[in-house]
Amino acid sequence: MAYLLVFFVSPMASGVRLAFTSQTGQLGLATIHQLVNDPGFWSSITNTLIMLGLILPVQFALAIVMALLVNARLRGSGLWLYIYLLPLGISELASGILWYSIFTEQGWLNSILTDLGIIHQPVIWLSYQHPLLLICTIVIAEAWRSTSIIVIILVGGLQAIPKDYLEAADVFHASPWRKFWHVTLPLLRPTLRTALILRTVLAFEVFATVIALAGSSLDVLATKANNAYTQFQEPHLAAAYGVLIMLLSLASAALFLTVLPVRTEQAR
């Protein structure tokens, strides 16, 4: 309890207090007004939501396939799990720099494409003129870095599914796809919900990958919070961005809890 108070409740209360206090120390909505009128505020919300909308389906599709492969206990599946887990040991910034060296104009990707004769002039993947392409590079980098977190959660969920259900499906000669769609996926719903909440909250906090790959071309809420504090030395504005990220995270968690209810018999 003391740990929670010192390390979670106290900084959160301090952040909320900063967000609702002006630079002159007056309590009120001055900082919130500054937040809403901050150049790039609305585009940062749009970019965050687009990024989230792309990351979640891509990562979950990948994670389900990877988790099923691990759970199928094929030959060498243990080795695959270790390979999947490797990016977990790399920090977000290091991952961003690594992917920058791949996507930059004179980077690996253009070198490989040139060597293969596919392109004759380097492609600028990280151009400010193509924000959607920039977001796609961020999604690829993020998918590489953090899909393994979801894989671990899903493997746990898959292993908790009683074999009886799948054996019963076998008795009725269900195809692998029908077994996955009608047996595995519904029983995996509580695990998927947990993974969705966790991944969404983490996706709201992604900033080092965005800074490394997009620089000042593109802002998301977390980069705005970071820049407000480090670059412009405005702790109140940074706290306001932080509070907004917290509220959006809570709202998304509430949404998933409502949209994906867990039936009692499944939870049992």
251, burial (CB in 10 Å: exposed 0-12, middle 13-18, buried 19+): exposed
Q: In terms of CB distance, is 154 or 211 closer to another protein? A: 211
Question: Does residue 126 touch another protein according to CB under 8 A?
Answer: yes
Structure tokens at 69: 């492969």
Question: Does residue 50 touch another protein according to CB under 8 A?
Answer: no
Residue-level length of the chain: 268
Among the listed residues 21, 22, 32, 40, the single contact to another protein using CB under 8 A:
40
Question: Does residue 39 touch another protein according to CB under 8 A?
Answer: yes
Where does the chain have alpha helices with state H?
Answer: 2-4, 10-19, 30-36, 41-71, 77-85, 92-103, 108-115, 131-159, 163-171, 176-179, 185-187, 189-204, 208-214, 221-230, 235-259, 264-267
Q: If we measure between CA atoms, which residue out of 254, 143, 123, 242 comes closest to residue 197?
A: 254
Q: In terms of CB distance, is 91 or 231 closer to another protein? A: 231
Q: In terms of CB distance, is 6 or 93 closer to another protein? A: 93
Question: Does residue 26 touch another protein according to CB under 8 A?
Answer: no
Question: Does residue 190 touch another protein according to CB under 8 A?
Answer: no
Instruction: Return the SS3 of 27.
Output: strand
Site for another protein in 94-123 (CB under 8 A): 100, 104-106, 121-122
Amino acid, res. 221: L
Question: Does residue 10 touch another protein according to CB under 8 A?
Answer: no
Among the listed residues 7, 8, 42, 232, the single contact to another protein using CB under 8 A:
232
Window contacting another protein (CB under 8 A); options: 86-94, 163-171, 230-238, 253-261:
230-238
Binding site for another protein (CB under 8 A): 39-40, 100, 104-106, 121-122, 124, 126-129, 211-217, 223, 227, 229-234
